[in-house]
Structure 1
């Protein structure tokens, strides 16, 4: 049985997709000067959101895990990984950075699906994150295609 995603969480999640969708659209459709700006904006926003996903895990560890438990340690340690992927990705060539960020989103999703990753999270969170991650990854694929000369 699937839990219903709270409407506020759904609307905020969808709103969080707008910068991805707008910037990747501009990267394809606008004059070249705007395309370069949009590519940079996309990558920076992607890094922010990837880091935000790590912050969610840190918050869960602090508020719902028992201090010192395996879940607490794993969640705290892994909560830092998205930021440690996102920041260096911004220092790379945009094509490489887009790949690194996309891989970061996949890794976060794998963690969210793991036994420790999904523990302590509400049922609706998995459904929301699945849909948001698919759109984020599709946006990354479009940007990568554009950067490859699409």
Structure 2
């Protein structure tokens, strides 16, 4: 399993990735602890931020495919197709909203990480990135579960 270190030459993207967890954590906590309408606003902010970041993950793979993979290779085709999937999941998740939209986003994070862990998807991904994505995915999925539970409680 890749090791995540805040020291070394990759500390900036690692720190930025970890900082990207702050809106997930803050809005998930706000969904539970904010008063009344603010709780609903926190949930909405969570879903919107999640959709944006899931789409960003697709962009990472688009860039890898364009910059590293031979255009006629199976890796290129697979990575380009995967790079579109997060946006195509995020958009209906925004339209659905609520628990179904949040669950779809959560599934998107799990699917992207599963692809990145596969033999094909891991090609070109540095070890430090894989370690970072493990941590980020665990926290992001936990936040999604917390928000889904909050939806159920509000029903």
Shift in CA distance, 81/2, structure 1 to aligned 2, threshold 3 Å: closer
CA distance in 2 between counterparts of 1:3 and 1:45 reads 27
User: Displacement of 1:93 after TM fit?
Assistant: 3.8
Q: Which of the numbers 102, 110, 133 marks the counterpart of 2:114?
A: 110
**1:119 is aligned to 2:123:** yes
For the aligned residue pairs, the C-alpha RMSD in angstroms reads: 1.4
Q: Are the counterparts in 1 of residues 103 and 148 from structure 2 also a CA contact under 8 Å?
A: yes
Aligned residue for 2:70, secondary structure, equals coil
Partner of 2:62: 58
Shift in CA distance, 112/2, structure 1 to aligned 2, threshold 3 Å: closer
Listed one character per residue, the Cα deviations across residues 68-125 of structure 1 (whole Å, up to 9, x for unaligned) are 1111111111110000001100111411111111011111111001111100111111
**Given the two structures, how large is their TM-score scaled by the length of structure 1?**
0.95
Alignment coverage as a number of residue pairs: 150
Shift in CA distance, 2/137, structure 1 to aligned 2, threshold 3 Å: closer
**1:92 is aligned to 2:90:** no
**Given the two structures, how large is their TM-score scaled by the length of structure 2?**
0.92
Shift in CA distance, 144/2, structure 1 to aligned 2, threshold 3 Å: closer
**1:148 is aligned to 2:152:** yes
Partner of 1:29: 33
Q: Are the counterparts in 1 of residues 4 and 132 from structure 2 also a CA contact under 8 Å?
A: no
Shift in CA distance, 2/133, structure 1 to aligned 2, threshold 3 Å: closer
Aligned residue for 1:132, secondary structure, equals helix
CA distance in 2 between counterparts of 1:135 and 1:74 reads 26
Partner of 1:16: 20
**Once structures 1 and 2 are overlaid, which stretch shifts more, 72-81 or 3-12?**
3-12
